[in-house]
Structure 1
């Protein structure tokens, strides 16, 4: 990445905040750019992140596409609602946003938890999706060898996710020093771990209801398995993997995706869990080329 490119990314600002009412909640989103004959691109953040995390991508890709980013319910500038969080909830939120606000099918690009939610949309609400880009995507595969938790495991889990425990864990994880250490662990480009990034991740944790959301997300009902979703998926799929992700064995997990969708396009980068923010210039070019090759004007 050149110094000029680094400066552009460092100073890039998100487009103005906009809000859409969904099920009584004011959902935050941003939009920039024009269609130029291509489908809109909708960016979906991961756990603990927000539209801010796509700043380096929006500032660049808006030159070629109509780019949207949304804060899923419970994250970013969207409300921290007291509800049951699940892949189905976020799937329905994103699907309704596409149909009610964007007004046409999109190419979904999701990171981590946002990747799983985007896969749910593309597979189970195909009328909303033209294509799908997954960046270090989360979500469980079927496991025939998985054993039911023992009574002791169930009891320990109940203690771990009790209100007192989640309060203490939440207070620890929202500390700036903890956020910094976590980011330094999951980013290859340490220069990308800035005070601004830490601020953007920490800020929503002070919103009313944030602690309850933190506990609720760790107790989400088990959703559709990734392999089942891939079997349902009928849209073009591209995988972008940060190969230095300490939380995901990218090559092993990528092979599982390829098992169910052998025709998918895949890229392995010298990047961490959030390649779009860790190595944005590389990711932006990969997205641009794939969009232009698959969705001709």
Structure 2
């Protein structure tokens, strides 16, 4: 068994990418080899650490990977990169092809959900499934509306004019990475605050101290919209699971769910949870169970019964 905190460093386009690999080696365990690998993708400002309550459980039955997107976590934060969905899509596609090398279910939260869907569509039959947890990204019929995602949240909160000032951006960044601000923000988006603990706060604060972190932060307000979700759905060949934290205060979860229902492929599975923006960390036992049940039903595995994380 590989420890769930064993780093799996990798290079993408010459930049260091941090990841984790956990679970039995499929080359040594034929039962694991028959199941798809899992790749977990964090949201904006988070990292592989945000899957702390999921990896130990899922790794009991699967080969599990988690990766820090470029610009986040322990991965490199180079100033010259054009951050956005295309970069992160290509990073995930390359990770599956080069590091995993077999069919993979990609699960992503928020911004990571958009990247996971884009990668799943691009991978074709190399994607064994896609799981979206309160995913970001626009639909075609929203393209003329106000942009969504993290930039829109910031604009509503702060104002577009202020965000154009490098000095004010720096002041905002310094405030947002204060432990008290991180904790307050997390408590706004978790309905059950139990898991908003010192460890989680520090896991978000630590990467913000990296030299390139401010440069990445400045780009978030100008990240391209990326390909519309409905176009990505049209290209997706793999089964799709939508996991909703339906009380998400950062998005209109009920309205967004309706949009997904209009555009998602037939036979998409939905699970609605009484949680906020990050259900995988707020109600991890429910998310782990839903994911494993879906794998058993949709990806053709035998019923799995791992032990809860806590």
In structure 2, the residue matched to 1:281 is: 285
In structure 1, the residue matched to 2:17 is: 27
Q: 1:147 to 1:235 in 2, by over 3 A?
A: closer
Q: 1:190 to 1:238 in 2, by over 3 A?
A: same
182-191 vs 66-75, which moves further:
182-191
Secondary structure of the equivalent of 1:31? strand
Q: For residue 137 of structure 1, report the CA deviation from its aligned partner.
A: 0.4
Residue ranges of structure 2 left out of the alignment (5+ in a row)? 27-31, 148-154, 302-310
Paired with 1:132 and 1:294, the residues of 2 have a C-alpha distance of 11
1:13-63 deviations in Å (ceiling 9; x for gaps): 842122001111110000111352210000000000000000100011111
160-169 vs 267-276, which moves further:
160-169
The structure 1 residue matched to 2:186, chosen from 183, 187, 196, is: 183
Query: Which structure 2 residues correspond to residues 143-162 of structure 1 after superposition, within 5 A?
Result: 143=141, 146=144, 157=160, 159-162=162-165
In structure 2, the residue matched to 1:6 is: none
Secondary structure of the equivalent of 1:143? helix
The structure 1 residue matched to 2:95, chosen from 86, 94, 97, is: 97
- Number of corresponding residues: 280
1:195 aligned onto 2:198: yes
The structure 2 residue matched to 1:269, chosen from 251, 256, 273, is: 273
Tell me the TM-score normalised to structure 2 length.
0.86
Q: For residue 165 of structure 1, report the CA deviation from its aligned partner.
A: 2.4
Q: For residue 145 of structure 1, report the CA deviation from its aligned partner.
A: 7.8
Paired with 1:180 and 1:23, the residues of 2 have a C-alpha distance of 34
Q: For residue 127 of structure 1, report the CA deviation from its aligned partner.
A: 4.1
Q: 1:44 to 1:147 in 2, by over 3 A?
A: closer
Does the Cα contact within 8 Å between 1:95 and 1:128 map onto a contact in 2?
A: no
In structure 2, the residue matched to 1:135 is: 133
Paired with 1:175 and 1:103, the residues of 2 have a C-alpha distance of 40
Q: 1:142 to 1:192 in 2, by over 3 A?
A: same
Residue ranges of structure 1 left out of the alignment (5+ in a row)? 1-12
1:73-123 deviations in Å (ceiling 9; x for gaps): 000000111111010000000000110111112000000000000111112
27-36 vs 95-104, which moves further:
27-36
Query: Which structure 2 residues correspond to residues 99-248 of structure 1 after superposition, within 5 A?
Result: 99-143=97-141, 146=144, 157=160, 159-248=162-251
Does the Cα contact within 8 Å between 1:161 and 1:215 map onto a contact in 2?
A: no
Q: For residue 217 of structure 1, report the CA deviation from its aligned partner.
A: 2.2
Secondary structure of the equivalent of 1:68? strand
Give RMSD over aligned pairs.
1.9
Paired with 1:101 and 1:218, the residues of 2 have a C-alpha distance of 31
Tell me the TM-score normalised to structure 1 length.
0.89
Q: For residue 146 of structure 1, report the CA deviation from its aligned partner.
A: 2.3
Secondary structure of the equivalent of 1:125? helix
Paired with 2:283 and 2:36, the residues of 1 have a C-alpha distance of 24
Q: 1:196 to 1:145 in 2, by over 3 A?
A: closer
In structure 1, the residue matched to 2:297 is: 293
In structure 2, the residue matched to 1:46 is: 43
In structure 1, the residue matched to 2:55 is: 58
Q: For residue 143 of structure 1, report the CA deviation from its aligned partner.
A: 3.0
